[in-house]
């Protein structure tokens, strides 16, 4: 009876396997599809100035003036409306993000991008400039994320 697994058969199988592996790797390297290049959004860098010391000279006076201020009621924004003190959510940017700027207007410097579903509180506005309505926003969880945004991508949001 003949041996099925002779040394010659094993070496031939090993050579064929090695050749097929090399051909497969070569095909993967040559025929791989080129990855599309995507433009990345500009990265925002928040520059925080170093604290400076301010000299304050207290001069005591003989008189003491007591001020009693009556608290002014704050206006609660109506549900579904954008107004100062209310909250908004960024929507409708298609994943591109909303540019928040240093001042209202398209020529103002870009500070950072706000992303869809991100929540902001309105601190000022409305200001009409460049044919759009602008609102000043600040993030409730990070006060350094503040800037002006166009109303087109803001949706009223109930206070968190």
Which residue pairs, CB below 8 angstroms and at least 24 apart, start in 39-42?
A: 41/96, 41/97, 41/113, 42/110, 42/113
Domain ranges, residue 153: 87-157
In this structure, is residue 142 part of a structural domain?
A: yes
Give domain status of residue 129, yes or no: yes
Can you give the pLDDT at residue 69?
A: 47
- Is 94 part of any domain? yes
pLDDT at 65: 46
Per-residue pLDDT of the chain (160 residues; tens, 9 = 90+): 566 778 888 899 999 999 999 999 998 888 877 666 666 666 677 777 776 666 555 555 555 444 444 444 445 555 678 889 899 999 999 889 999 999 999 999 999 999 998 999 999 989 999 999 999 999 988 888 999 999 999 999 887 6
In contact, 102 and 108? CB cutoff 8 Å: yes
Determine, yes or no, domain membership for 108.
Answer: yes
Domain contains 120:
yes
What's the pLDDT score for residue 8? 85
152 within domain boundaries: yes
3-state secondary structure of 89: strand
Does residue 57 belong to any structural domain of this protein?
A: no
CATH of the domain at 94: 2.30.30.40
Q: Does residue 4 sit within a domain?
A: no
Instruction: Transcribe 97-136 into DSSP letters.
Output: -EEEESSSSTTSPEEEEEPTT-EEEEEEEEEEETTEEEEE
Per-residue model confidence (pLDDT) at position 91 = 92
pLDDT at site 147? 93
> CA dihedral defined by 112, 117, 123, 126, rounded to 10 degrees?
90
- pLDDT reported for residue 33: 72
Instruction: Specify which residues 119 forms β-bridges with.
Output: 89
pLDDT of the residue at 82: 87
Q: What domain count does the chain have?
A: 1
Q: Are 139 and 149 in contact (CB under 8 A)?
A: no
């Amino acid at each position: 009876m003949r041996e099925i697994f002779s040394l010659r058969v094993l070496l031939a199988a090993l050579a064929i396997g090695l050749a097929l592996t090399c051909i497969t790797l070569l095909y993967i390297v040559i025929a791989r599809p080129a990855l599309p290049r995507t433009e990345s959004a500009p990265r925002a860098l928040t520059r925080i100035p170093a604290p400076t010391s301010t000299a304050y000279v207290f001069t005591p006076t003989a008189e003491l003036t007591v001020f009693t201020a009556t608290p002014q009621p704050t206006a609660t924004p109506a549900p579904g409306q954008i107004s100062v003190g209310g909250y908004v959510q960024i929507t409708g940017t298609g994943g591109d993000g909303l540019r928040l700027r240093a001042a209202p207007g398209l020529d103002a410097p870009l500070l950072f991008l706000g992303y869809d579903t991100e929540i902001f509180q309105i601190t000022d506005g409305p200001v009409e400039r460049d044919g759009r309505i602008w609102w000043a926003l600040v993030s409730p969880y990070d006060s350094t994320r503040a800037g002006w945004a166009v109303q087109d991508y803001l949706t009223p949001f109930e206070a968190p």
